[in-house]
C-alpha cells in the first residue's frame, strides 16, 4: 500500500501560495504592486513615507489628526539609548553596516521586547523599530568614519532626518522628496525572502524584535539585499555609455548574470522602475552625475534588447542613492529602513494566525544505510 502522493517540489518556491495577506498585492500578470489596495506608484507620487507606514501598519490612510499624532510619536522615539550607542561603538569599524546595526537591534530587543505582544504593544514596538533604525544606520555610518553620531532632530520629517544623520548626504528639498518617494516604493513587496523569514519566525510565537532580526539577517544576504550596490559597482566598471555594448557582449559571452535585471515574480518591467528612473534622472542631473545616469540608461536598453530581461527596482536606486549622497556601503541598510513598515505589518498580521508555518522537503539522499561500528569503517 502506497502513501499519499506528494507534490513535486518547485525550485525556489516560485509561484507557490504559502499564505494569505491583506498587506501587499503583487500581481505578476499585469505588473502591479499595491499596499492595502493603493497602487504603489500613486503613493510614491502623492504620499509621504510616514503616511505610507501608517497605511501598512494600520490598514487605512490616516486623517490629518491621525498622521500628526503618528508622526509625532515616531519623532519622539528616534533617540538611541545609552546601551545601544555603547554597543554600536564596540563594533569594529570594518564591520558591514548590516551586521553592525543588527547588534543595535539585538540590544533594543533586550530593552523593549516581550514575548507574544498583544496588538497594542506590537504596534508600539513596530513604531519604535521604524523610528530608531535610521538613527542606528546613521550612527554606524559615522562611527565607521571615526566621527561622532549626530542626534536625530524632532523638527524634521522621516526622510529629511534620515539624510541629516548620514555623512555627506544632500539635505536639499529635492533630495529629501526623492528619497521619500524611494522609501515608499521599497516599503513592501509581498513575500520576498526577508518578509517570509520574518513571518516564519513570527509563526513560532517569537517576539517582534526576533522576527525583524530574522528579516534583517535575510536581507543582508547578497542574493536578496545587495542588488543596488552591485548595480553601482558594474556602472563604475563600465565607466561610460559608449562602453556598454562591449561590456554586455563580454558578460553574455561568459554566461555571467548581469546584476539588477530579471525580477523573480514580475515578467515584464517592475512597476516601480519607471518612476525611479525619472527620480534618478532628475537627481543625477542636479548632482552632476549625468554620465552615470546615461550609462545606466544605455545598459538598460542593451540588456533588454539582447536578453528580454527588464531592470528591477534596485537598478535605478543605485544612481539615485549616489545622487543624494548615500555611501554605497549603506545601500542595503537604506533598503532595510524602507522595508521596516512592511516587515512589521506582516509580523503583526502573522500573529493573528496560530498555525505554525511548516513546509515539507523532498528527501533525495541515501536510505536504509546500515550502521557500522567505528572500528570497521574505512576512509
The pLDDT value recorded for residue 209 is 94
Query: Which structural domain, as residue segments, surrounds residue 275?
Result: 227-323
C-beta separation of 58 from 180 below 8 A? no
C-beta separation of 80 from 139 below 8 A? yes
- Would you say residue 18 lies in a domain? no
How large is the average pLDDT for residues 184-203? Answer: 95
- Position 189 pLDDT exceeds 80: yes
How large is the average pLDDT for residues 221-236? Answer: 95
pTM of this prediction exceeds 0.75: yes
Task: Give one DSSP letter per residue of 287-353, joined into a string.
Answer: HT-HHHHHHHHHHHHHHHHHH-PPB-HHHHHHHHHHHTT--GGGHHHHHHHHHHHHHHHHHHHHTT-
- Would you say residue 360 lies in a domain? no
Closest among 29, 39, 347 to 199, alpha carbons compared? 347
Q: Residue 179 and residue 261: Cα distance in Å, rounded?
A: 22
The pLDDT value recorded for residue 120 is 80
- Would you say residue 11 lies in a domain? no
Closest among 366, 262, 379, 252 to 313, alpha carbons compared? 262
Name the least confident of 98-107, 112-121, 334-343, 346-355: 112-121
What are the angstrom distances between the C-alpha of 61 and each of 35, 48, 124, 184? 10, 11, 18, 14
Residue at grid coordinates 545601544? 84
The pLDDT value recorded for residue 5 is 53
Task: Examine the domain organization and report whether 233 and 193 are in the same domain.
Answer: no
Q: How far is CA 101 from the centre of its chain?
A: 14
What confidence tier does 8 reach under pLDDT thresholds 50, 70, 90?
low
Residues serving a catalytic function are 263, 314
- Would you say residue 231 lies in a domain? yes
Task: Examine the domain organization and report whether 157 and 95 are in the same domain.
Answer: yes
- Position 215 pLDDT exceeds 50: yes
Average pLDDT, the chain: 93
Q: What is the CATH number of the domain that holds 36?
A: 1.10.580.10
- Would you say residue 2 lies in a domain? no
Task: Examine the domain organization and report whether 195 and 149 are in the same domain.
Answer: yes
- Position 11 pLDDT exceeds 80: no
What confidence tier does 116 reach under pLDDT thresholds 50, 70, 90?
low
Task: Examine the domain organization and report whether 28 and 61 are in the same domain.
Answer: yes
What are the φ/ψ torsions at residue 116 (nearest 5 degrees)?
45, 65
Task: Examine the domain organization and report whether 214 and 304 are in the same domain.
Answer: no
How large is the average pLDDT for residues 356-365? Answer: 89
Task: Examine the domain organization and report whether 160 and 49 are in the same domain.
Answer: yes
Task: Examine the domain organization and report whether 139 and 177 are in the same domain.
Answer: yes
Q: Residue 315 and residue 219: Cα distance in Å, rounded?
A: 17
- Would you say residue 376 lies in a domain? no
Higher pLDDT: 177 or 114? It is 177
**Which three three-digit cell numbers place residue 268?**
515584464
Task: Write out pLDDT tens, residues 264-314.
Answer: 777 778 899 999 999 999 999 999 999 999 999 999 999 999 999 999 999
The pLDDT value recorded for residue 1 is 42
Q: Give, as one character, the DSSP assignment of residue 261.
A: B
Q: What is the CATH number of the domain that holds 268?
A: 1.10.230.10
Task: Examine the domain organization and report whether 130 and 148 are in the same domain.
Answer: yes
Task: Examine the domain organization and report whether 110 and 240 are in the same domain.
Answer: no
Task: Examine the domain organization and report whether 168 and 236 are in the same domain.
Answer: no
Higher pLDDT: 189 or 10? It is 189
- Would you say residue 355 lies in a domain? no
- Position 338 pLDDT exceeds 50: yes
Task: Examine the domain organization and report whether 38 and 163 are in the same domain.
Answer: yes
- Would you say residue 179 lies in a domain? yes
Per the structure, the count of domains in the chain is: 2
- Position 6 pLDDT exceeds 90: no
Task: Examine the domain organization and report whether 258 and 212 are in the same domain.
Answer: no
Task: Write out pLDDT tens, residues 234-273.
Answer: 999 999 999 999 999 999 999 999 999 987 777 778 899 9
**Which three three-digit cell numbers place residue 266?**
514580475
Amino acid at each position: 500500500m502506497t502513501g499519499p502522493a506528494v507534490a513535486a517540489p518547485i525550485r525556489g518556491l516560485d509561484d507557490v501560495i504559502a499564505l494569505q495577506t491583506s498587506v501587499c498585492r503583487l500581481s505578476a500578470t499585469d505588473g502591479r504592486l499595491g499596499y492595502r489596495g493603493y497602487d504603489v506608484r500613486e503613493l510614491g507620487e502623492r504620499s509621504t513615507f510616514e503616511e505610507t507606514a501608517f497605511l501598512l501598519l494600520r490598514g487605512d490612510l490616516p486623517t490629518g489628526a491621525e498622521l500628526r499624532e503618528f508622526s509625532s510619536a515616531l519623532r519622539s522615539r528616534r533617540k538611541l539609548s545609552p546601551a545601544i550607542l555603547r554597543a554600536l561603538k564596540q563594533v569594529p569599524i570594518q564591520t558591514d553596516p548590516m551586521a553592525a546595526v543588527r547588534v543595535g537591534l539585538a540590544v533594543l530587543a533586550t530593552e523593549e521586547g516581550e514575548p507574544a505582544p498583544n496588538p497594542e504593544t506590537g504596534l508600539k514596538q513596530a513604531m519604535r523599530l521604524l523610528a530608531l533604525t535610521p538613527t542606528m544606520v546613521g550612527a554606524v555610518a559615522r562611527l565607521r568614519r571615526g566621527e561622532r553620531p549626530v542626534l536625530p532632530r524632532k523638527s524634521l520629517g522621516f526622510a529629511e532626518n534620515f539624510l541629516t544623520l548620514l555623512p555627506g548626504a544632500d539635505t536639499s528639498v529635492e533630495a529629501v522628496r526623492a528619497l521619500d518617494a524611494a522609501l515608499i516604493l521599497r516599503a513592501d513587496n509581498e513575500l520576498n525572502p526577508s518578509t517570509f523569514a520574518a513571518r516564519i519566525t513570527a509563526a513560532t510565537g517569537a517576539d517582534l524584535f526576533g522576527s525583524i532580526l530574522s528579516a534583517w539577517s535575510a536581507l543582508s544576504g547578497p542574493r536578496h539585499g545587495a542588488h543596488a550596490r552591485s548595480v553601482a559597482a558594474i556602472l563604475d566598471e563600465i565607466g561610460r555609455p559608449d562602453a556598454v555594448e562591449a561590456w554586455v557582449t563580454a558578460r553574455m559571452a561568459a554566461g555571467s548574470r548581469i546584476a539588477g535585471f530579471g525580477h523573480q515574480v514580475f515578467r515584464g518591467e517592475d512597476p516601480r522602475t519607471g518612476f525611479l528612473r525619472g527620480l534618478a534622472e532628475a537627481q543625477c542631473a542636479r548632482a552632476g552625475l549625468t554620465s552615470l545616469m546615461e550609462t545606466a540608461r544605455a545598459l538598460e536598453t542593451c540588456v533588454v534588447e539582447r536578453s528580454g530581461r527588464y531592470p528591477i527596482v534596485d537598478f535605478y536606486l543605485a544612481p539615485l542613492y549616489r545622487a543624494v549622497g548615500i555611501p554605497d556601503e549603506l545601500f542595503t541598510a537604506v533598503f532595510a529602513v524602507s522595508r521596516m513598515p512592511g516587515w512589521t505589518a506582516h509580523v503583526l498580521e502573522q500573529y493573528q494566525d496560530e498555525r505554525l508555518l511548516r513546509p515539507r522537503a523532498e528527501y533525495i539522499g541515501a536510505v536504509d544505510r546500515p550502521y557500522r561500528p567505528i572500528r570497521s569503517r574505512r576512509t
